[in-house]
């Protein structure tokens, strides 16, 4: 017996795991594609750069495995930030309101943590802070990561109160 197809007006509820998976894939993709466009680099340049945080200069060997690890690390980080926000929303009432403002602020938090804590602990060589590059990097994280995470989290939790 065939399962009936829900009408277009019926919205199926998504699991928390599904919402996080979808959001993490979306923001990871938005972030990396935007970075490649803004910095005019391709996957063969950007993913080894990401990998170099763990492997140092070995990441630039031209090996496919280093590109693979860059993809893994990049999406792991995107999922981590997604999980953090989605798990905070039920506990912090203000996060259930003003998704746009919260998302933009979350992008700034992500930039600060990544650039002031995570990257200095990595094997990446540290360049002096460049104001223009910092603004561009923060803007990418605000619009392509923080904003979609907050908006999709608000949408997920909207009917769950």
Residue 4 lies in a domain: no
| Residue 7 belongs to a domain | no
Contacts of 7 (CB under 8 A, 6+ apart): none
pLDDT given at position 9: 44
Q: Is residue 2 part of a domain?
A: no
Q: Sort residue 63 into left (φ over 0), alpha (ψ -120 to 50) or beta.
A: beta
Structural domain span for residue 107: 16-160
- Report the number of distinct structural domains present in the chain: 1
pTM: 0.88
R_g over Cα of the chain? 18
Q: Is residue 85 part of a domain?
A: yes
Q: Where are the alpha helices (DSSP H) in the chain?
A: 16-39, 43-55, 64-88, 99-113, 119-121, 131-141, 147-157
The string of pLDDT tens digits covering residues 71-82 is: 999 999 999 999
Q: Is 118 within a domain?
A: yes
The 10s digit of each residue's pLDDT in 80-132 is 999 999 999 999 999 988 999 999 999 999 999 999 999 999 988 778 889 99
Query: Is residue 1 one of the residues assigned to a domain?
Result: no
110 belongs to a structural domain: yes
Q: Each residue of 30-55: b (16+ CB within 10 Å) or e?
A: bbbebbeeeeeeeeeebbbbbbbbeb
């Amino acid at each position: 017996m065939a399962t009936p197809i829900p009408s277009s007006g019926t919205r199926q509820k998504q699991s928390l795991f599904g919402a996080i998976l979808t959001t993490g894939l979306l923001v990871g993709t938005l972030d990396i594609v935007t970075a490649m466009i803004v910095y005019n680099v391709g996957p063969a340049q950007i993913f080894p750069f990401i990998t170099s945080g763990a492997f140092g200069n070995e990441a630039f060997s031209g090996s496919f495995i280093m590109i693979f690890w860059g993809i893994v690390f990049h999406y792991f980080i995107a999922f981590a930030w997604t999980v953090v926000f989605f798990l905070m929303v039920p506990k912090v009432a203000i996060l259930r309101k003003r998704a746009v403002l919260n998302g933009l602020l979350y992008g700034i938090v992500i930039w600060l943590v990544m650039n002031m804590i995570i990257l200095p602990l990595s094997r990446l060589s540290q360049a002096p802070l460049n104001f223009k590059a910092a603004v561009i990097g923060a803007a990418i994280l605000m619009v392509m990561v923080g904003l979609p995470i907050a908006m999709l989290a608000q949408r997920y939790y909207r009917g769950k109160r």
